Each structure stands twice: as C-alpha cells, then as structure tokens.
Structure 1
Amino acid sequence: MASSFLCLSLLFISLSTAGGFMYYDLNRCVFNSTEVKDIEYVRSWYCNKVEFIRFDSSVGKFVGYTELGVKNAERLNKDQGQLAAYKAQKETYCTHNIGIWYSNILSKSAKTSPTVKLHSMTPVSSHHPAMLVCSIYDFYPSEIKVSWLRDGQEVTSDVTSTEEMADGDWYYQTHSHLEYTPRSGEKISCVVEHASLKEPLKTDWDPSSDPSMPESERNKLAIGASGLILGLILSLAGFIYYKRKARGRILVPTN
C-alpha cells in the first residue's frame, strides 16, 4: 500500500456485563483509490482494548497477537471455508462500498478555492464610525488566513474574526471585521490565504459598488467623483487655453 492512504471504518461493538469485560470487532477498508489492488480489507477483534486476532486481506490469513489469538488464528486458518469467506469480504464489503464513499465523501477532500465578498456595515458600538466585513465562503480544508491591508500596510488593530464554521456540506465559511475611520483616497483590501490558492487572494473594497451601502451614500460618492472629474477637465481646459494665449502673445521690446 502507498504510504499515504485513506481509511473508512465500520465499528461493531458487543458488550458483556459479566465480569466487566468488553469485546468488540472492527471492520475497515484501507485504500488510496478505487482500484482493487489499492484496497485492503482488515478485521480486528479486541478484548478490553487489546487486539488479540486480525484478518488482513493483504496477508490472506488470520494472525494472532496474544496467546488466545494465536490459538484461534491456527484454528481459523485450517478452516478453508471460513478463510475463503473472509477473503471474499474485500470484494463484497470494500469494493462494493468504496465507489459510494469515494464519490460522496472523498471528492469533497479536494482543495476548494474560497469565494470572497466584501461589504460595509454600521458598527453597533465602536469608537470608529465605519466597519468593513470580509466574508469567505465555500472553502476546504478549514485552515485559512484572513488579513487586512490599508494603503498597502497590514492592519492588526481593530480586527476581529470568527472561527471557521462548517456549512454542513463539507465546506466552511468565516468572517473578518475591520473597524476604522475613513480617510480620503485610501485603499483597503481583504487578503485571503488558503491551501487551494497559488498566491494570496486580494479583494479591494469599492464603496461605489457596495450593495449594503445606502443609495443616498452611493449617490454622494457618485456626485463627488463626477465633480472631481469635471474639475480636472476644467483645469486641463484652462491650462490649454493659457498655453495657446501665451504662444500668440507678441512681446514688444522697450527702450
């Protein structure tokens, strides 16, 4: 078997109150693909947490680990019918179910890139008048790093983040909050680092496209941006007019 493998197990426990002993057996399929050669069926029997006998399809027989286990292994290995029945479990128990496990469970183990949404909201109680929320959805595995940049510099204060929360479909979500006092012309970004990403994913905040911002505020931003552009156009027109006037001016020498 490959050094890295996947294992799904079905545990059967039977209890006996007499004398306080606990007996149980464990069936498991160890595999790293759906290929038969990459599948191993193992059944172990335990008494009071001690494994005393095991059947391993890769070995093809029972193996004892205690005095009682060795005696039972010798007996079972002589029973060709019993031995054949356990050898068949690789096919009937493992191969039959691994296709289901692989499609329904293991397909989720692939690294899934996160979806990032950035929006603003009004802080409930804070010494800052504004707050940005960076929401990250649909990522796997759960380990993730979220940070904030303000004009290219990482922000470490007034930042709070939730734990990675399971969505119930093998994916996760998390939310990071930045409380701040807005400055004119600044650039704020949410940076996400995850195993599925070749490089950090940076999302810049664009207040004009923020659906959570009131329409009146977006209108103010639009009017302000329009005024700024108009001012630049008028300044440029005035500069061009001045240059043309300067070229056409005749300088008269004086005595």
Structure 2
Amino acid sequence: YSKSRFCGYQFQGIVDCEYDDTIDNMIYFVKNIFNQKLTTIYESRVQKYVGFGEFGIHNASHYNSQAWKMAIRKAEVETICRYSARFFKLSTLERIVRLTKPSRHGELSMLEYSVLGFYPQEVRVTVTSTDTLANGDWSYQLHSYLEFRPQRRESVSCMVEHPSLDEPLEVVWGERPGEEREGGEDSWNGNVGPRGTERGKNILLIAVFL
C-alpha cells in the first residue's frame, strides 16, 4: 500500500492477496487509484491489467506491453503473497477461547450483524445500527445489534440495501432445515456470513450470536 499527494491530487497503489484455507489458490491484485477512482487493476488469474476510463485504459495497455513488468507481477504471487501468507500463518496464535455456556431458549440474547467493506458510504440495515466506520481504504463497515429472546424454531434475518447491490442482501440466522443446532436442540449458537459481490464492489454480511 502506498499513497502520495501533490497539489490536491491523490494517488494510491494497493496490493491485495486473497486465498482460502490453503495458499495454493492465491489471487493477487494490484490496484491503482487516482482521486478515489480505480484506474487500473492487475489480477493474477488473467495475468494482465484492466483499465477503467480513458486514462486507465491507456495506462493498462502500456503496462501490459511491458514484458518486464508482467514478469514481476507474476513472480509477486510467490514473493509477496505466498511468502507473507506463510509468515502470518506461523506467527498467528491459535484460537483458544471457547463458548462455555450456550444460550438457552427464552434467555435475553444479543445478535450482531456486521456489514464490512462497502463503498460508497450510504447503506441501510433494517436493525439498530452503529454509525458507519471508515476502514481507511475507501470502504466502510457497520455493526448492528438485535436484542431478543430466542424461541424454539425461530428464525431471524438481516437485510442490507446498498447502491452496489442489484437487490437487497439478506442473511438468515436461526435453525437450518435438516440440521441440529450446535450444542443440542435446546442451545443456540450461530455464525453465518454470505458475501455479495456486485458491479466490482464487495460486501461481507456476517451474523454472529453473542
């Protein structure tokens, strides 16, 4: 990540490594942002730059014509992404905190919905919410809380509406058909989170039972 500002203009360069439980399927992004607008993005799966707007398309074509730059980007999947992932994996502590007392039906409980990584800032969530919080990378996050008393066979859902979504994004927390809740039929424990990706934006919606 780098940022420079000159005479009121701002340029950002962001590198992003995405992977699952293993580092074999690593995806590497290099993003160039000028005055809060994405101009070019390199993606390792296609191994080339894609430009946005007249200025970005011109730059992407120039970058793709530079064999040395393409070779560097290809190598950075290993030298930046996989190298860093191995380091963080070795230095990350294993989670040792465990739920000791699952909530029972009828007890006053709290359900938290977190909406992460959305841009622009305007968003609507149909439960009590915190203020939107800036992440520092032009995206925002928001946390919402619902206080309720869980009942057997009860289902609770949260819906998010955002300009980057073609339709509202909804996550349902509660009993899933054909599944028993963790801890037995009389206990409640949940953590589910669908991701909505529309028009180049990423929104992660997580429901966590507290």
Q: TM-score category by the smaller chain?
A: 0.3 to 0.5
Q: TM-score, normalised by structure 2?
A: 0.47
Larger-Rg structure: 1
Looking at both structures, which has the greater relative contact order when contacts are Cα pairs under 8 Å and sequence separation is at least 6? Answer: 2
Q: Which has the higher strand share?
A: 2
